[in-house]
Amino acid sequence: MTPEQIESAVAAAMPQAVEELRRLAAIPSVAFPGHPEEPVFAAAAMTEELLRSVGLPRVQQVQVEGSFPAVFAEAPAPPGMPTVLLYAHYDVQPAGDPAAWRTPPFEPTLIDGKLYGRGCADDKSGILSHITALRAFQGRFPVGIKVIIEGQEEYAGERLEAFVERNPELLRADAIVVADTGNPRVGDPAVTTSLRGMAAFTIEVRTLREPVHSGSFGGAAPDALAALMRMLTSLHDDNGDIRVPGLPRGTFLGQGPSEEEFRKTAGVLDGVSLVGSGSLADRLWASYAITVTGLDVPTVSGAVNAVQPVARARVTVRVPPAGDPKVTVNAVVEFLRKVAPWGVQVSFADLTVGSGFQADSGGKARAALNRAMERAFGRPPRDVGAGGSIPLVNTLLKQFPAAEILLFGAEDEDAAIHAPNERVDLEELRRVATTEALFLHELSLPSALGV
């Protein structure tokens, strides 16, 4: 196929892709404990159906210990051609408060060229970018293809990591495309070359056997919630920089967003300042960040006049690519123990960790991607970092050190992933699918093969 034929084939396939994305995103495949499991299995089944539809000769669900199934597909490489592994995940974040959504989270709604709904971007757009790119070749793929679509990335991605370590030959490839990131802005092509790692844990503070009347006991009885608040606020100084020893600020060599762009994308209110020091690229992509992502405390509407005996918080730590998540979380936990007031009882549970990633941007696959992305977007891509984590990437790097790992996708910075009103821009999805299809074609050419 010629590049022009590939572009035409992707464009012709977009109406079908949009309808398939609607169907897939309508499945509430939340793989968190306490959520129904049936929709997760339904999303796996539809993912399997989609992969079969593009002519891949081998498609199957594979069991992942302690997790939902992954979907694997494969087409053998033509003689002398490399093999490319394509990754995405079919599970999604919980929708959260339905009242915060302008449209129902699991009723994908098309508005002004954007499809709104939980998972439309993260990461079911990744699945459809793979499907649409592969469909362009009508079963005659220019290179070897392997596909792995994960079923529990958002909650327990480390379980697929263990699967990869036990089954390296199944996923071995010369290049790996991870479709779970995106461009800074719609139409602004970029390749993510840096990912922060992550550590998360639950902290519990206990002070009393049970709640006691705040009038009779307040002023002397130690309040667990007040203690926890003091501990959590001590993690940062007045400027918002981290106070935990051993977690220094890093430096990102590429260009980050302007403050104006960031404030707009993040929705920072007028008069509210940003936190931390250094450039935004440093803070977002190369430094540690600590966020309290949840609290178990009485609600305002259900509050009673009592001193609280127990309070819990979920704490997430983002770790720069060179940092060690386990060392990092130990430093944070030790700091919290040290600053705990009044001799309160402190415990930690539900620890998860994932390593960061730093790409080598100088290989043949990256050069092929640069050419493909420049043609699809009209200008060459730039390197960017991502503050989020993709647990599998570092495992793939360790297992296949000779493979080039390429991260790009349709999740632009305004896509509101993990938030209400998540959406994917359909023109962006077309450009990303076109990029991927052109990349597969470019990788089969003599110039990419060193011939």
Number of other CB atoms surrounding residue 255 within 10 Å = 13
Residue with tokens 């290179």: 143
Backbone angles phi, psi at 254, to 5 degrees: -80, -175
What sign has the CA pseudo-torsion 123, 128, 130, 131?
Answer: positive
- C-beta separation of 156 from 352 below 8 A: yes
Number of other CB atoms surrounding residue 371 within 10 Å = 20
Pairing of strands 306-307, 345-354: unpaired
- Closest of 12, 48, 172, 30 to residue 91, by C-alpha: 30
Residue with tokens 């293809």: 145
Sort residue 336 into left (φ over 0), alpha (ψ -120 to 50) or beta. Answer: alpha
Backbone angles phi, psi at 424, to 5 degrees: -125, 135
Q: Strands, DSSP E only, in 3-68? A: 58-62
How many CA atoms does the CB half-sphere of 318 hold within 13 Å? 24
- Residues forming the active site: 91, 153
Q: Give the separation between CA 39 and CA 46, rounded to whole angstroms.
A: 10
- The SS3 of residue 337 is helix
